[in-house]
Amino acid sequence: AFSAADFRRACGGSVWKNQDAEHSPFTGYHFHNFFTSSEEIRHKYATYGHPNPKALTMDLDKLHEDLTLLVNCAKGIPDDPNANHKRFAAGFAKHKGFLPIYFQDSDYRKRRQEHIRDIFSSNETNATKDA
């Protein structure tokens, strides 16, 4: 079986960038955060790549700045003005550029947002006391 690293290391490919100044230069997307529960998120941050030994005991929004953005969005907490990652203030409808096909489907976006809200609206974002 191939891993993501195998594909990144493969020889012979070419990188193509979008030349349109109004859009992002990126022409590909890579998905790796399709979690179904807070437990899966904690497992990823405890074991993958650069594991965090405190992933099972930290609040999720403290694990990584990507998760801070995700938790804040799900809970309706405004972005920190000093954060590196922020929500697109103009909203999805105003986004210009290429989008993964999944996100072009408004029904999928709605279902995914509801699922993320369900995960993070509960106390699942808080560290487990028995971990």
List of residues 6+ apart from 67 with CB closer than 8 A = 41, 60, 61
Quote the pLDDT of residue 129: 47
Residue 129 DSSP one-character state: T
Query: What's the pLDDT tens digit per position in 103-130?
Result: 889 999 899 889 888 888 765 556 654 4
Residue 73 is which amino acid?
C
| Tokens coding 79 | 């972005």
What does the block give as tokens for 81?
């003005």
pLDDT confidence bin for 2, thresholds 50/70/90:
low
Q: What is the mean pLDDT of residues 85-114?
A: 85
pLDDT at 79: 93
Instruction: Write the pLDDT tens digit of every residue in 72-83.
Output: 888 889 999 999
3-state percent breakdown (helix, strand, coil) of the chain, nearest 5: 45, 0, 55
Question: What is residue 99's predicted lDDT score, i.e. its pLDDT?
Answer: 77
